[in-house]
Chain A
Amino acid sequence: MSKQMTEMLKGTLEGIVLAILSVQPEYGYEITARLREMGFSDIAEGTVYALLVRVEQRGLVAVEKVPSEKGPPRKVYSLNAQGQAYLEEFWQTWRFLTERLARLQKGGR
């Protein structure tokens, strides 16, 4: 992954993960798998994990602990109302950015 890609992803990964959770609740591990399927193959497990810790602390997701056969209980994340509102704001920002950048790319202002 290029340095530029890493830098740009930093600002958008939170929105991407919340968008994934808006489809259906997921285990942390499955979120990374989804990202890989989408082509974000170099995203580290730990990066996603840290992000999940953060959105949980900020109250954007609901977390349910499901016991696993061995190892620690696994957490299932789902988007709550606050997360939904945050995601909506993310898409608005995204639309604004892409529209302005497309104009700039075409040579307009």
Chain B
Amino acid sequence: MFISTFITKVIGDKTQWRQYKARAKQLPPNYRTALEALERYLMYFGTGGDGTAIYADLLDLFEQSVENRTPIRKIVGEDPVEFIETFVRNYPKGQWILRERERLTTALAHAEAEEAKSV
């Protein structure tokens, strides 16, 4: 059961990934360079295991921008790092940081409860 879900997930992701790559190839070279740079950054920064959704959405943005003739700088703004880090925050599914946030919140609540007891 687990194995088959796992396989479906990986293969499904792989197909989506291939489709993404094929579409990305259609972009004009400069847009493609920009998208690949963002993609590379995401590989290091991590997308929290959200699969290909974030890449597909980024590609939508670039395809639209090609259609509307939006220059690269007008897509990502003056600070591309800030752009991509804000962007990735829209895809929090499965992010390890969610667990840690919960842990921090609970820990603080415990600390507060102990404080109330000692007063």
Which chain A residues have a beta carbon within 8 Å of chain B's beta carbons? 1, 28-29, 42-47, 49-50, 53-54, 57, 68, 70-72, 74
Contact = CB atoms under 8 A, between A and B. Distances in A.
Contacts of B57: 53
Interface of B: 57, 60-61, 63-68, 70, 73-78, 83, 86-87, 90
A21 to B, nearest CB: 18
Contacts of B70: 29, 45
B31 to A, nearest CB: 12
A44 B65 CA distance: 11
B83 A47 contact: yes
A46 B76 contact: yes
5 contacts: A44-B77, A46-B76, A46-B87, A49-B64, A72-B64
A53 to B, nearest CB: 5
A29 B70 CA distance: 10
A28 B64 contact: yes
A66 B2 CA distance: 39
A54 B90 contact: yes
Contacts of A28: 64
A49 B62 CA distance: 10
